[in-house]
């Protein structure tokens, strides 16, 4: 197993988990990592590998103070232009579509490594560009979510990766009143 690929994105997840702890401490949101269930593969009683029982939808789920449900996934990109759509799995797009149908807020938190910057990609943007990419397979310019279509995430007094603050700039009604906490 390629160790580098196995831990791809883990540093971003650690940063987000730290931010989530800060949101909980300030009573802004309760957000937890959704664990992926693995089943060991055995040969002659010896564990030789493992496989996922069921692909989880998105990496994180929770609710804001007041009860509004959110879910999101973390992605890292080494492309300075943005997030390659190939980094997103189809079941994740479907999960974001379902979330929207039920009034949940879904999004991606993306770190573009060469820019040393995190961003938020609202579900609607990811779904729209995914559908456009699928309709134009093989054509240049359709395979990425450009950084210009993302909302920058900055460190604030609420934490080093205040992705909810970035979402507040996108949808004022979503986080109304949480800014002061």
What's the whole-model pTM score?
Answer: 0.83
pLDDT at residue 98, rounded to an integer: 96
Percent of the chain with pLDDT over 70: 81
137 within some domain: yes
Higher pLDDT: 16 or 155? It is 16
Would residue 178 count as lying in a domain? no
Residue 138 lies in a domain: yes
Whole domain around residue 23: which residue ranges?
A: 3-170
Strand-pairing partners, residue 39, are 51
Q: Average pLDDT in the 118-133 region?
A: 95
Residue 181 lies in a domain: no
* Residue 27 or 4, more confident: 27
Residues 6 or more apart whose CB falls under 8 angstroms from that of 72 comprise: 58, 59, 60, 106, 107, 108, 109, 163
In a domain, 150, yes or no: yes
Residue 176 within a domain: no
Tens of pLDDT, residues 105-125: 999 999 999 999 999 999 999
For the chain, how many structural domains are there in total?
1
99 belongs to a structural domain: yes
The predicted structure's pLDDT at residue 6 = 47
The CATH number covering residue 155 comes to: 3.40.1350.10
In a domain, 175, yes or no: no
């Amino acid at each position: 197993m390629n160790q580098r690929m196995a831990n791809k994105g883990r540093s971003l997840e650690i940063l987000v988990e730290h931010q989530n702890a800060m949101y909980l401490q300030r009573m802004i949101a309760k957000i937890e990592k959704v664990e992926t269930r693995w089943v060991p593969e055995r040969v002659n009683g010896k564990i030789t590998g493992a496989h996922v029982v069921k692909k989880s939808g998105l990496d994180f789920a929770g609710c804001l103070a007041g009860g509004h449900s959110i879910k999101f996934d973390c992605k890292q990109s080494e492309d300075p232009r943005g997030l390659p759509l190939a980094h997103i799995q189809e079941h994740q797009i479907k999960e974001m579509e379902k979330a929207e149908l039920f009034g949940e807020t879904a999004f991606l938190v993306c770190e573009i490594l060469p820019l040393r910057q995190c961003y938020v990609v609202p579900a609607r943007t990811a779904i729209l560009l995914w559908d456009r990419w699928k309709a134009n397979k093989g054509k240049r310019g359709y395979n990425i979510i450009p950084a210009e279509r993302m909302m920058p995430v900055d460190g604030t007094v609420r934490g080093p990766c205040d992705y909810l603050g970035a979402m507040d700039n996108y949808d004022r009604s979503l986080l109304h009143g949480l800014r002061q906490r």
